[in-house]
């Protein structure tokens, strides 16, 4: 793990960073309209705006009744985050796997805190070229995806120092139990 950042620091810094960064609400009916009415950079490659997402990834579940939405995206997500944090503290991960779990939990906690305080997650970035575009997302979503990728790479044996793929002698990055 990077010597300049400790796991607990990242777990608390990333969620805190997402609080209080909400511009005035603007609605979006399509990705094209999203980019035409938002700040655009690099010939519409990056569009920055404001969307409140009451659902999950790509707004899946946004149409659920409010009680079901709260149960899934606030209640169940909170339980999963606490469980992941407990598992992370029990198991001795190192390197990419450890940093990946910390990023994943921090990003999830950031979105969870937004849901608890606002009832939705603030998404503001959209990337793409022409009609090929991503969904609207936020920095916490980037932390979740990067964390998941780093965890998988770490479990497959990728090392910060070597950058090489796993070998039969070192298939995972978990420290053996003592």
Residue 17 scores a pLDDT above 50: no
The question of whether 141 is a catalytic residue gets the answer yes
* Nearest C-alpha neighbor of 172 from the set 98, 104, 120, 76: 98
Residue 7 scores a pLDDT above 60: no
**Which residue in the list 44, 70, 114, 141 is annotated as catalytic?**
141
Dig out the tokens for 42 from the structure: 């690099």
Q: Bridge partners of 41?
A: 46
Query: In angstroms, how far is CA 78 from the centroid of its own chain?
Result: 14
SS3 content of the chain, % helix, strand, coil (to 5): 50, 15, 35
Tens digit of each residue's pLDDT (9 = 90 or more) over 19-69: 333 332 333 334 445 556 678 888 888 888 888 899 988 888 999 999 999
**Which residue in the list 44, 63, 70, 123 is annotated as catalytic?**
123
pTM of the model: 0.70
Distance CA 3, CA 8 (A): 13
Any idea which of 28-32, 157-161, 174-178 has the lowest mean pLDDT? 28-32
């Amino acid at each position: 793990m990077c010597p300049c950042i400790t796991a607990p620091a990242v777990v608390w810094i990333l969620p805190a960073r997402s609080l209080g960064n909400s511009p005035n609400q603007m609605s979006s009916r399509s990705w094209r309209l999203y980019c035409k009415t938002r700040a655009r950079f690099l010939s519409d490659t990056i569009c920055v705006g404001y969307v409140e997402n009451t659902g999950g990834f790509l707004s899946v579940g946004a149409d659920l009744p409010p009680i079901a939405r709260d149960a899934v995206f606030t209640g169940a997500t909170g339980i999963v985050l606490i469980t992941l944090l407990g598992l992370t503290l029990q198991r001795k991960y190192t390197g990419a796997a450890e940093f990946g779990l910390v990023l994943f939990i921090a990003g999830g906690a950031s979105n969870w805190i937004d849901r608890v305080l606002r009832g939705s997650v603030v998404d503001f970035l959209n990337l793409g070229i022409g009609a090929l575009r991503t969904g609207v997302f936020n920095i916490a979503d980037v932390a979740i995806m990067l964390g998941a990728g780093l965890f998988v790479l770490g479990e497959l044996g990728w090392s910060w120092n070597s950058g090489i793929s796993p070998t039969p002698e070192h298939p995972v990055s978990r420290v053996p139990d003592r």
